[in-house]
Amino acid sequence: MYKPATIKDIAAALNLSPSTVSRALRDGYEISAETKKTVVAYAQSVNYKSNPNALGLKNKRSYSIGIVVPELANSFFSQAIAGIESVAYEKGYHTIISQTHDSTERESINVNHLANRSVDGLLISMSSGTTDYDFLTRLNKNGLPIVFFDRIIDEIDTFKVTSDNQSGAFKATGALVGMDCRRIALLASAPQLSITNERLAGYKEALSHHHIPFSESLVRYCYKGGSDYQEVEDALKELLANTDKPDAIFIGSDSISICCIRAIKNLGLDTGGIKIAGFSNSDVVDLLQPSIIYVRQRAFEMGKIAVEMLLKLIESRYPITEFETRVLDTELYCP
C-alpha cells in the first residue's frame, strides 16, 4: 500500500527538525527564505499532503461541513450542492449531506447528528414546516458556525445568501400582465418560508404596479412545499373552481411548479386560456407541457457563496459579529 510522505520524512531527508519543516511549509515568518525554498521544493517532489486527521486532532477540527437540504434530487439543490462541493473540495473540506424531505422532525434530528459528528460548520436551507428554531439557535450559541442559503430565517444572526425573490416574482407576474392576464392566481409555498413571503411581496408589488387589485381568494398555500403532490392538486382545483376563474397562475416554487403541471395533465384540464409562470431550476422546464414562463435562480453560485461565507466563519481567528446577507438576482425566461 502506498504510504504518503510525512513531515518527519521530509525532516529526515533534509536533515531538519519536524517543526522547522512544518513552519516552512506554512510559511512561518521565522524561517529563512532559503530553508523554505528547499523544504517546499522537496515537499513538492515527494507529493507531500498534510494529513487531515492529524491536523484535525491538533486543531480540534474535523474539516467537514454539514449540508442540510430538503431534497437532494431536486434541481435547485443539486445545483447548489455542486457549487458547494466545488469550493469545499478545493479548500480541503469534506461534506456530509443530509435530506429532511421537508420534515421539521428529521431536520432537527439530522442537524443534531451532524453537530455530534463534529462538523466544523453547517449550511442549511430550511424545511418548509419549521417554525421553531431553538435547535439551531442553541447550536449556534454554542459556537457552531451556520450559514443559511435560499430558505433563510431572520431569527438567527449570521451570514445568509438567497435570491432576489421579490424581484423575480415581480418580473414573472409582470410578464403575465404583459400577456393580458388580469386575474393572476398565486400558488405559494409554505408561509413559514422566507422565499414564500418574498415572492408573495413581488407578486403583490407587480399587481399594484399595474393597478390590479390583490385578492386573497386567488392565493393558495402549499404547506408541504410541493413534496405532497395531492396538496398541490387540491389547491389548483380550488383556484380553478373560483367563481371568477383566474386567467393566469404564478407558482412560488420549483417543486410546486412541477406538481402543478402534473396536476394539469392528470386532471386533463384544458389550460388553453390560462398562462402559467413559476420559479424553476429544472434543466428541462423549457420542454414541459403546458409550457411555462419561469424564473431561474443562480443555484450553483449560491452554493459557492454559501461555503465561502461558512469557511470565513470557521477559519476566522476572531469572532465575527458583522454579518452580511447576499442577494443574487434571478433570470426570467419567456418561452
Partner DNA sequence: GTGAAAGCGCTAACAC
Partner DNA sequence: GTGTTAGCGCTTTCAC
Q: According to CB under 7 A, which one of 37, 46, 51, 82 is a site residue for DNA? A: 51
Q: According to CB under 8 A, which one of 22, 38, 78, 140 is a site residue for a second copy? A: 78
Strands in 36-118 per DSSP E: 64-69, 94-99
- Verify binding: residue 82, a second copy, rule CB under 8 A: yes
- Verify binding: residue 267, DNA, rule CB under 7 A: no
- Verify binding: residue 182, DNA, rule CB under 7 A: no
Q: Tell me the closest approach of the beta carbon of residue 25 to a second copy, in angstroms.
A: 16
C-alpha cell at 317: 481567528
C-alpha 65: how far from chain center:
14
Q: How far apart are CA 102 and CA 224, in angstroms?
A: 7
Q: How far apart are CA 247 and CA 193, in angstroms?
A: 26
> By CB under 8 A, how many residues form the interface with a second copy?
47
> By CB under 7 A, how many residues form the interface with DNA?
26
Binding to DNA, residues 58-117 (CB under 7 A): 58-60
User: What letter would DSSP give residue 240?
Assistant: H
Q: How far apart are CA 136 and CA 131, in angstroms?
A: 11
* For DNA, the closer CB: 4 or 273: 4
Q: How far apart are CA 65 and CA 202, in angstroms?
A: 34
Please say whether the beta carbons of 163 and 297 come within 8 A.
yes
Question: Per CB under 7 A, which region of 7-15, 97-105, 214-222, 241-249 contacts DNA?
Answer: 7-15
Q: Tell me the closest approach of the beta carbon of residue 106 to a second copy, in angstroms.
A: 12
Q: Provide the mask over 97-126, with x wherever binding to a second copy is found by CB under 8 A and - wherever it is not.
A: xxx-------------x--xxx--------
User: What letter would DSSP give residue 266?
Assistant: H
Q: What is the DSSP string of 172-215?
A: HHHHHHHTT--SEEEEE--TTSHHHHHHHHHHHHHHHHTT----
104 binds, among a second copy, DNA, none (CB under 5 to 8 A by kind): none
Q: Which residues bind a second copy (CB under 8 A)?
A: 1-2, 4, 47, 49, 51-54, 56-57, 62, 64, 72-73, 75, 78-79, 81-82, 85, 89, 92, 94-99, 113, 116-118, 142-144, 258, 261-262, 265, 282-284, 286-289
